[in-house]
Chains A and B, each alone.
Chain A
Amino acid sequence: MSAGTTGTDSGADSGTAASPGAGEWPLWEVFVRSRRGLSHVHAGSLHAPDAAMALRNARDLYTRRQEGVSVWVVPSAAVTASSPDEKDPFFAPAADKPYRHPTFYDLPEGVRNL
């Protein structure tokens, strides 16, 4: 099954926040909360040598017009992703269970507040 493959199974050179060094700075995923009451939403990615710089770069790159009140940065290598293939059996179990939706049920004529 493809579910649960790690974010980078490409080896040790994947450059996380803990292993900065020569070469390209590691990649970070940026999540922005646009205003209080809403979730953080993925905005994009950027390179930075460490978490503090990633946060500053994210501020400059993704919130130049007050797009956010809060920002998260996460090392891209730390993300675990499911397979994108829609035919993948990973999501299949949900497909044959329409009874999970309220529209599945027939209601008698005249019933209210249900």
Chain B
Amino acid sequence: MPETITERGSRSGAEAASGPRTDPGAAGPAPAQEAAFEAKIAADERIEPRDWMPDAYRATLVRQIAQHAHSEIIGMQPEANWLTRAPSLRRKAILLAKVQDEAGHGLYLYSAAETLGTGRDELLDKLHAGRQKYSSIFNYPTLTWADVGAIGWLVDGAAIINQVPLCRCSYGPYARAMVRICKEESFHQRQGYELLHTLAHGTPEQHAMAQDAVDRWWWPSLMMFGPPDDESAHSAQSMAWKIKRHSNDELRQRFVDICVPQAEILGLALPDPDLKWNEERGQHDFGAIDWAEFKEVLRGNGPCNDQRLDRRRRAHEDGAWVREAAAAYAAKRALGAAGPGEAA
């Protein structure tokens, strides 16, 4: 597959750029390479872009990192919805910084994916064509200002629980991107918590608004950890490869246990009548998750799936002239620098 090799060389980072090439004609992986890869994984060493790796490992990472990157940039939309209506300049500045961070997180992750030999344009094309997914949580609408708080507290909170173990993921560039992202996420979560706390201790109407937002975001946030362990398609292999370090259910439980006391301090209720402390387990029991809803949203039938993708495609198309103008300007400058008569 010479095309793949060209692609990899031309599009990926310097880290990936001159990787050891598999001979286009060679059949199957060399056992020595596979053994070296397995040994690195077993020793908890990181795999770096130019190391030999199984095709399935590479494909799994591209799928996961792309989905993660797409989630970051689609995730800008629900919150950006409230930028122009933020209740104060302070809140507006904070929200702008947060939405900008999400764009940055997307870029870190696209860069990480590119070290695996898949170009950013290719990934964006797949997102726009609906061939790659993003987190189903962003297909829910932000109906009130309190939703900005609920997203920060619950959605970013769940993301942090998911992402902290990814800082030790076996693939180096992904792990490094996650370290940077996790540092920035904690501001996201705190601003949301502070926002909700302010509303919850405001007028009765504001308190009700905060409670309503938590009621709507709680269950979708629990779904962010993915299907139950016994139904998770990719979990076992990802755990073996140390891409994933904890199971979906384990992380979900951790999230619930963290949120319960935080909700108490907010003075808000979590919308689950079955939620209670289990002395024996030392953890909270909680109610059944509506996985039918999760699957529907994944299938494209959530409240905002079409809207999110349309908006994303439109932003990309509307921005085409900017990209073209920048390229044309760069070309003109390069020509000017090379030309003989251009004394500047």
Which A residues lie at the B interface, using CB under 8 A?
2, 5-11, 13-15, 17-25, 27, 29, 44-47, 49-50, 53, 60-61, 64-65, 74, 76-81, 83-85, 87
Total contacting residues, chain B, CB less than 8 A: 42
CA–CA, A80 to B14, complex, Å? 8
- B10 touching A10 by the CB < 8 A rule? yes
CB-nearest residue of chain B relative to A82? B18
* Residues 93-121 of chain B, each 1 if its beta carbon lies under 8 Å from chain A, else 0: 00001001100100110010010000111
- B327 touching A8 by the CB < 8 A rule? no
Q: Known: A10-B6, A14-B9, A61-B107. Contact between A50 and B14, CB under 8 A?
A: no
Q: Known: A46-B107, A84-B51. Contact between A10 and B9, CB under 8 A?
A: yes
29 contacts between A and B (CB under 8 A): A7-B18, A10-B10, A11-B6, A13-B6, A14-B9, A15-B10, A17-B334, A20-B327, A20-B331, A21-B327, A24-B120, A24-B121, A27-B11, A27-B13, A27-B114, A44-B108, A44-B180, A45-B13, A46-B107, A46-B111, A49-B329, A50-B333, A50-B334, A53-B326, A77-B14, A79-B14, A79-B17, A85-B20, A85-B51
CB-nearest residue of chain B relative to A64? B104
Q: Known: A22-B327, A50-B330. Contact between A7 and B10, CB under 8 A?
A: no
CA–CA, A27 to B18, complex, Å? 14
Partner of A44, one of B6, B177, B326: B177
Q: B-side binding surface: helix, strand, loop or mixed? A: helix
Given contacts A5-B18, A53-B326, A65-B184, 18 further A-B contacts (CB under 8 A): A7-B18, A18-B334, A20-B331, A44-B111, A45-B13, A45-B114, A49-B326, A49-B327, A50-B329, A50-B330, A61-B108, A76-B13, A76-B14, A79-B17, A81-B15, A81-B50, A84-B50, A85-B36
CB-nearest residue of chain A relative to B47? A84
- A25 touching B327 by the CB < 8 A rule? yes
CA–CA, A8 to B265, complex, Å? 55
* Residues 152-192 of chain B, each 1 if its beta carbon lies under 8 Å from chain A, else 0: 00000000000000000000000011001000100000000
- A8 touching B17 by the CB < 8 A rule? yes
B79 to chain A, nearest CB (A): 17
- A6 touching B11 by the CB < 8 A rule? no
**B8 an interface residue at 8 Å Cβ cutoff?**
yes
Partner of B20, one of A2, A29, A64, A79: A2
